[in-house]
Every structure is written in structure tokens, then in C-alpha cells.
């Protein structure tokens, strides 16, 4: 009976520790992860609807109200290359590091790690309508678009590639 008591006590402590870790480490879906992780994560976000594959865009997307979410995917292995949010019809929400409403939305959709990383990110450059930022964890691209504001998350190691591509598209025909 003494061994059974110790086992139960150890089991309860382990389950409590796992529950605590899961509570302080919320599920995320970010560039670099597999699309299956992103699809599962999106189901847990009240701001999003179920993601659907769009073959023309080579990614997954969802629209709920004035919020549009998408995740671009590499066809080879299903890795998310970038994610984006566009909010339309709300002139008070602009994806800038100083817009409290935008930062709060990022916190609600992702978590405070992402919203803080964006808020503390360093402005790098502007190419056309796109503004590029470097955070500690990710890089970000923001733009004011017709009727709204757009936000993208990319991996840090792809920042220069996205800047170069934006510059190239300034003088050449590019698919948007």
C-alpha cells in the first residue's frame, strides 16, 4: 500500500507539472512549422475559422468578419513560409509597433511573445508599401492596403530575401 501511495503522489505531481507547462506554453503556429500544426492551432483561436486550402495561393486561409488570415506553404514538405493577417474596415487599426489595438490583436491571436517581439522590433526599411522589421524571434512585414492594414510574420533568416524580392518587384513584373 505504501508503494501505491508513492506512485499516486508521483503521478499526480507529474500530471500537475505537465498541465502547468501547457498552461504557460500556449500552442503556437508560426513560420517554420508544419502546416498540420498551424491548422490544429487555428481551430483553438476564436478569432479564426477553420483554415481551408487555396490551391491558387499555395496556402491555407480563413476569413472571419473583417479579419483575413493565411499561411503560405512550401509544396515539398508542408512547411509554413510566412503567415499573414489583414484587417479591413477598421481605420483605427494599423499594424505598427506603436498601435496598441494592433499589438493587442497580435497578442490575442498569437501570444504576448509575438506581440512583444513585434512591438520591440527594429525598423529596417520600406520598399513600396511594405515596411520591414527585425525582431529577436521573427521578422515582420506591414503594409497599409486598400481598406485595411496587413501584417506578415517570416523567419529571421528570410528577411533579406523578402526585402530583395520586394525591390525586384518594384521594377519587374511579379505575381502578387
pLDDT for residue 171: 85
| pLDDT, tens only, 67-91 | 999 999 976 668 999 999 999 999 8
pLDDT at site 9: 46
Q: Give residue limits of the domains in the chain.
A: 30-171
Average pLDDT over residues 133-142: 96
Q: What is the 3-state secondary structure (H, E, C) of the chain?
A: CHHHHHHHHHHHHHHHHHHHHHHHCCCCCCCCCEHHHHHHHHCCCCCCCCCEEECCCCEEEEEECCEEEEEEECCCCCEEEEEEEEEECCCCCCCCCCCHHHHHHHHHHCCHHHHHHHHCCEEEEEECCEEEEECCCEEEEEEEECCEEEEEEEEHHHHHHHHHHHHHHHHCCCCC
Indicate the pTM of the whole model: 0.81
26-50 tens-digit pLDDT: 456 789 888 989 989 999 999 998 8
Nearest to residue 67, comparing CAs of 80, 82, 51, 44? 51
Mean pLDDT of 92-108: 95
* Mean pLDDT over the full length of the chain: 84
Cα distances from 78 to residues 71, 73, 84, 170, in angstroms, run 11, 6, 17, 29
Q: Given pLDDT bands bounded at 50, 70 and 90, which one contains residue 142?
A: very high
What is the spatial distance between Cα 153 and Cα 15, in angstroms, rounded to a whole number?
34
Q: How far apart are CA 31 and CA 97, in angstroms?
A: 20
Amino acid at each position: 500500500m505504501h508503494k501505491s501511495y508513492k506512485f499516486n503522489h508521483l503521478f499526480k505531481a507529474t500530471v500537475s507539472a505537465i498541465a502547468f507547462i501547457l498552461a504557460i506554453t500556449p500552442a503556437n503556429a508560426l513560420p517554420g512549422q508544419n502546416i498540420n500544426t498551424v491548422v490544429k492551432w487555428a481551430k483553438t483561436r476564436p478569432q479564426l475559422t477553420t483554415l481551408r486550402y487555396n490551391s491558387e495561393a499555395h496556402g491555407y486561409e480563413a476569413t472571419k468578419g473583417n479579419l483575413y488570415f493565411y499561411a503560405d506553404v512550401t509544396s515539398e514538405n508542408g512547411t509554413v513560409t510566412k503567415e499573414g493577417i489583414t484587417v479591413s474596415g477598421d481605420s483605427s487599426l494599423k499594424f505598427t509597433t506603436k498601435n496598441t489595438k494592433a499589438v493587442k490583436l497580435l497578442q490575442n491571436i498569437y501570444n504576448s511573445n509575438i506581440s512583444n517581439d513585434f512591438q520591440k522590433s527594429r525598423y529596417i526599411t520600406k520598399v513600396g508599401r511594405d515596411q520591414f522589421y527585425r525582431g529577436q524571434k521573427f521578422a515582420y512585414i506591414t503594409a497599409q492596403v486598400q481598406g485595411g492594414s496587413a501584417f506578415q510574420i517570416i523567419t529571421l533568416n528570410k528577411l533579406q530575401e523578402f526585402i530583395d524580392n520586394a525591390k525586384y518587384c518594384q521594377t519587374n513584373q511579379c505575381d502578387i
